[in-house]
Structure 1
Amino acid sequence: MAKIVGVSRNKAVAAPKKRRRNRAAAGVDGFGLGWQHGYWHGQCESIVQRTIVPSYIRDLHVLFITSGKGFPYSPLDEAVGQTLMQLVSRLSVMSPKDDIVGFASREMPALAIVLDGLDFPVSTIDALRSLGIRTAIWFTDDPYYTEVTADLAPHYDFVFTLERNCVPFYEQRGCARVHYLPLGVHTADFRPRNPRHEIRGDICFIGSAYWNRIRLFEELLPRMAKRRFRLSGLWWDRLSDFQRWRDRIDLGKWMGPLETAEQYNAHKIVINVHRAHDDSTFNRNLYNIPAVSPNPRTFEIAACGTLLMSDNREDLAQFYTPGVEIVTYDSAQDMAEKMDYYLAHEDERRQIALNGLYRTLRDHTYVSRLSQLLDLATIPLA
């Protein structure tokens, strides 16, 4: 018999039994984890079913003009277009490069809705209005491009903006009908799902590494070192210690809605960091309008039934109750402490996530937002 150095024969024989016990324990743990995720998903699905509201279909022909920008704007184009199909009796979808005036002069839609509009010539809007067709624009990036949108807005009958501070800005430029309408969530993409086991973790952030985000994560990452976290997006190699965290960062990756939603579902806490309004590197906010309203990511995270941890924008409490439906932070240290707390108190974390899911599906879907837009854009004009 071969000699086993440094290990007794009894221990050598016992090792396979120990491995079998470890495998059995892992099987039990895996079963328990699977059961927990299944039970959690069932709770989320119960909320989804309770918040389904039949759509009211308006007898209306709407011409929807997409942003025409391609990815990453195309998922938003699709979300708005698919939602409008549920709300009006006839929907025509065109891009800015199509023969819109020719089509409109033949078909005479009651309302033309333009999304974003930065690549859409105002001469076409003027032509639609001359045909007697109502026009509405929904600005999706306010206040970051107000240097451009300031000249576009006065050409429309109705202006909708996702930034509350832009309402008086457009009114001062002669727009008679300006409404605050944040973006929402497309629940066909963002909803609770049971994610793959291999991508599950504690914390994630998905988004580009603007400089305000770099400053935050420079301070935060050392506090997260022992956590299972994931960052994904452009420019994260700006981190001074990028090489240390490289294996936890999907550098340069821009995910589509379904992959983004899968990551949200796979993590216990998802971070939201709003873009700075005064970052001159990327913005064209010549008028320096402060941003106080929530970004679309706010609603998309909460719609997945995960805990949303967001920086505290002024308008946020209008949409969610902090500490009840979401969690907010005011510094990297505050965020780190709250992460530790909610990862240690799972029942509290899950209850807040469920509350946030319910509020989102009740109030913040694109069905809700576009119903408001249609109601406002079809009222009799003075």
Structure 2
Amino acid sequence: MKIYLISDGLTQKSLSLEQTEISFNWFYLNHLKQSFLLVESAWLGYKNRWKYKIASYPDDPNRTNKKLVQLVQTAKDKGIPTVFWNKEDSIHFDRFIDSAKHFDHIFTVDQNCVERYRAVVPSETTVDVAMFPVQPRIHNYQGFNFKYMTANFIGSYSKHIHNKRRERQELLFRAAAKAGLPVTIFDRNSDRKSDNYRYPEEEFSLTVRPAVDYMQTADIYRQFAVSLNVNTIEDSPTMFSRRVVEVLACGGILVSTPSLAMDRLFKDYCHIVHSEDEAVALFERLKHGPSKQDLEMAKAGADFVLNHFTWQKFLEKIEAVIASKK
């Protein structure tokens, strides 16, 4: 299998570890029996070569998807299936629909967006769901050997957007502070200068560290007894943050705020807290270490994710859809 890939870094690293050939030579497309063009809703792409060339920027006419549309047409002319995966739905549906609509097959992380695509694309275009997968060669279960009976959060924080997400984060941080459970943040936006992305370190007694390489995240989830999660989208049956499956795959003790997808898919494998009081009570217990039931839940979560949410399963689904349309 050969994949002509346009994606951001996390997907690049994950797919590079699969038993498949990845090519970034998009303009030297060769028709092979088992090959396809896979483009995700990327902001930068390989070596930043696709920055401003996939999403729409209505306020800047110089930022267009013309190059991408030409590439997709070239692939079609050569008989190479074209696949678009929007990992940014539903928040950024409008930013990527003008690119997605040119592809043979569209996959979205949010089932709620399927009908929105259907209203725009031709009837022969595939529209299906492909949820966030995990790469077992990075995130995997290696037993329980927690070094820190504290909590971690790997991700971003913003003061100017995603208000509900910020409220959920602050609920968890405030509860942890009240319970005496230290929280270490690995700030995905540590290299951004704007104060809009700074964590409220003093207010919630947080320890904030710089961003870490994606390959290091698995060790963090294995070393900290508690991993925190919030979800930007809460009303989707299929959309959840990527860290959910990554934490669970490592056998981490996951504490998350609610969402439809969390309740539907993962409620048996993590703690979902619905109020600050509930979170405080949970953290007061977890700061002394996980119970036998916590560990059994985490191990079951690792088994569940590694059986159902892998990149291998993701690719198998895409390949099956492509084969069904030939």
TM-score band w.r.t. shorter chain: 0.7 to 0.9
After TM superposition, the structure 1 = structure 2 runs for residues 35-50 of structure 1, keeping only pairs within 5 Å, are none
> 2:310 is matched by which residue type in structure 1?
T
Secondary structure of 2:141's counterpart equals coil
Secondary structure of 2:302's counterpart equals helix
Please state how far the C-alpha of 1:213 moved relative to its aligned partner. Answer: 4.3
TM-score normalised to the size of structure 1?
A: 0.67
Q: Could you say which residue in structure 2 is the equivalent of 1:215?
A: 167
> 2:307 is matched by which residue type in structure 1?
R
Please state how far the C-alpha of 1:301 moved relative to its aligned partner. Answer: 0.6
Secondary structure of 1:114's counterpart equals strand
Residues 13-61 of structure 1 show CA distances to partners (whole Å, capped at 9, x for unaligned) of xxxxxxxxxxxxxxxxxxxxxxxxxxxxxxxxxxxxxxxxxxxxxxxx4
Q: Could you say which residue in structure 2 is the equivalent of 1:114?
A: 39
Q: Name structure 1 gaps, 5 residues minimum.
A: 1-60, 68-72, 86-90, 278-289
TM-score normalised to the size of structure 2?
A: 0.78
1:77 to 3, 8, 12: 12
Q: Could you say which residue in structure 1 is the equivalent of 2:230?
A: 273
1:249 to 208, 219, 233: 208
Q: Could you say which residue in structure 2 is the equivalent of 1:326?
A: 270
The CA distance in 2 between the partners of 1:245 and 1:339, in whole Å, is 14
1:104 equivalenced with 2:30 (yes/no): yes
The CA distance in 2 between the partners of 1:212 and 1:259, in whole Å, is 28
Q: Could you say which residue in structure 1 is the equivalent of 2:281?
A: 337
Q: 1:247 to 1:135 in 2, by over 3 A?
A: closer
Contact 2:41 2:96 in 1 (8 A): no
1:200 to 148, 166, 175: 148
Q: Could you say which residue in structure 1 is the equivalent of 2:186?
A: 232
Please state how far the C-alpha of 1:336 moved relative to its aligned partner. Answer: 2.4
Q: Could you say which residue in structure 2 is the equivalent of 1:20?
A: none
The CA distance in 1 between the partners of 2:79 and 2:257, in whole Å, is 44
Please state how far the C-alpha of 1:208 moved relative to its aligned partner. Answer: 0.4
Contact 2:176 2:279 in 1 (8 A): no
Which structure features the higher share of helix residues?
1
1:314 equivalenced with 2:252 (yes/no): no
> 2:240 is matched by which residue type in structure 1?
P
Q: Which moved more, 1:369-378 or 1:116-125?
A: 116-125
Q: Could you say which residue in structure 2 is the equivalent of 1:49?
A: none
The CA distance in 2 between the partners of 1:221 and 1:312, in whole Å, is 15
> 2:241 is matched by which residue type in structure 1?
N
Secondary structure of 1:315's counterpart equals helix
Figure out how many residues of one structure are paired with residues of the other and give that number: 287
Contact 2:110 2:129 in 1 (8 A): yes
Q: 1:359 to 1:163 in 2, by over 3 A?
A: same
Q: Could you say which residue in structure 1 is the equivalent of 2:192?
A: none
Q: Which moved more, 1:126-135 or 1:347-356?
A: 126-135
Please state how far the C-alpha of 1:125 moved relative to its aligned partner. Answer: 0.1
Q: 1:84 to 1:159 in 2, by over 3 A?
A: farther
Please state how far the C-alpha of 1:245 moved relative to its aligned partner. Answer: 4.9
